[in-house]
Amino acid sequence: MSSVDRPEIAEECGVFGIYGNPDAARVAFFGIFSLQHRGQESAGIAASDGHKIRMHRDMGLVTQVFQEERLAELRGYIAIGHTRYSTTGSSVLRNVQPLLCECDLGPIALAHNGDLINAIELRDEMLARGIEFETTNDSEVIIKLIAYSGACTAEEAIIEAMKKIRGAYAVVIMTRDKLIGIRDPFGIRPLCIGRLNGSEYVIASETCALNTIGAQFVREVEPGEMIVVDERGLQEIQAVPREGSALCVFEYVYFARPDSRMYGRTMHDVRRRMGHELAKEHPAPGAHIVFPIPDTGTPHAIGFAEASRIPYAEGVIKNRYIHRTFIQPDQRMRELGVRMKLTPLKESLAGRKVVMVEDSIVRGTTIGPTIKMIREAGAVEVHVRIASPPYKHPCFYGIDTANQNELIAAKLSVEEIRQYIGADSLGYLSLPGLIRAIGVRRDKLCCACLDGKYPVEVPKAAKLSKFVFEEPAGVK
């Protein structure tokens, strides 16, 4: 998914937690600011001073939600933060995280990245018991399972919840005096541990958040593991049995920031290698330049240019001040949306045969207008190269693509897609080529959106819409 295509596919959230810093909320601010690429709809931070949890959250980007006076109010040495892209529940204030719940265990705050595949079943069971819900997201299912468990400790309650929930989750949880991180038994969503100033601990979605605050990377949270940080230090608990390794392959293709590391590999380097493999599989002899759709296609295009020895150039300029644009679903408005975000460089394109590199095509709604714009700028041929295989299958683990009917590669062949988008040629990186570039064994990755092999069995009743918990008329 390119920057232009972002409304077509996005991951749910970024989560961050810090323990032991006297200005924890401020550290959390910089943490979730570093994770802004994982969600731009809303942001929130909760902090604890050991007695009381204070929280602020709102719609908007991190820098819009938090100013100096807000951070000063969030006193404490523990904090968790969240930045959201919605995959379950509307983008409205009541669904903003962290969530906060008062229960017999005391106040508990929670921030979640992922999607539960049995949320409907669990929610219905709790509703039948008289438990009320205030949001329409599946994250509240997790916090309510913890709050109403009847367990004696937060750790016991969380383990009970982990035994019931199924799907993808990377979660940070805060009590009055503890920071806790948990990861699903397959490790579908990323979560890592860092150390700051020798004695402070950090839990975050990506290592780029550690870099920003000057923390050292310790390791990744293992599948099914629970990390507990309190006055005794860090404790490692295998809360539920590990069922495998299935990190989302799209972390490598698009989601993670280029400077983040997973399985010991930097995303930028992996994406360059994807470009190398793409050039081997789908060369473009006779092309004059290679250019990306910035920013996500940049390392892929650099790799393609290196391997093909076709000069790398800037073909389009991105408007850096646009994050997400909610545009009307008619063709004219889509084209205007593309032109708001991208400006072609006629000097680079005019009279030339060009290779345009994207990381993926999902719904295929904006790439056609982009190609049209490039032709209007004078390109005589436009050859499109995609640094991932065709996206054919829905995701139920935290990506907003649960409806297969919306996926263009599920309906059209590669040649039909080429005709539909108006390219002179179209080449996708193969799945073996993608795996070679990543350098991680296939059995350690979730590639369900590409090959239909789901690591966690998806029930027939799985949600097909992120509005599954909402009233038919929608949330106002």
Omega before residue 295 within 30° of 0, cis? yes
Residue showing tokens 């006629």: 346
Q: CB atoms < 10 A from the CB of 151, how many?
A: 16
Distance CA 448, CA 457 (A): 11
| Backbone angle region of 20, left / alpha / beta, with phi > 0 → left and psi within -120 to 50 → alpha | left
Sign of the torsion angle spanned by Cα atoms 455, 458, 464, 465 = negative
Q: Which residues contact 330 (CB under 8 A, 6 or more apart)?
A: none
**Joined tokens for residue 210:** 């550690």
For residue 13, the cross-strand partners are: 84
Q: Which residues contact 78 (CB under 8 A, 6 or more apart)?
A: 17, 18, 19, 20, 24, 47, 48, 50, 174, 177, 178, 179
101 is catalytic: no
Q: Residue 398 to residues 14, 188, 347: CA-CA distances in angstroms? A: 11, 9, 41
Long-range interactions of 280-285: CB distance < 8 A, separation 24+: 280/307, 280/433, 281/427, 281/429, 281/430, 281/433, 282/385, 282/425, 282/427, 282/428, 282/429, 283/308, 284/308, 284/310, 284/353, 284/355, 284/383, 284/385, 284/425
Angle at 379 between CA 345 and CA 302, to 5 degrees: 65
Sign of the torsion angle spanned by Cα atoms 238, 244, 248, 249 = positive
What does 81-106 look like in DSSP terms, one character per residue? Answer: EEEE--SSS-SSGGG-SSEEEEETTE
For residue 106, the cross-strand partners are: 103
Kindly name the residue from 13, 208, 248, 395 that is annotated as catalytic: 13
- Backbone phi, then psi, for 259, in 5-degree steps? -90, 0
Q: Which residues contact 131 (CB under 8 A, 6 or more apart)?
A: 144, 148
Judge whether 237 and 162 are in contact, CB under 8 Å.
no
Active-site residue numbers?
13
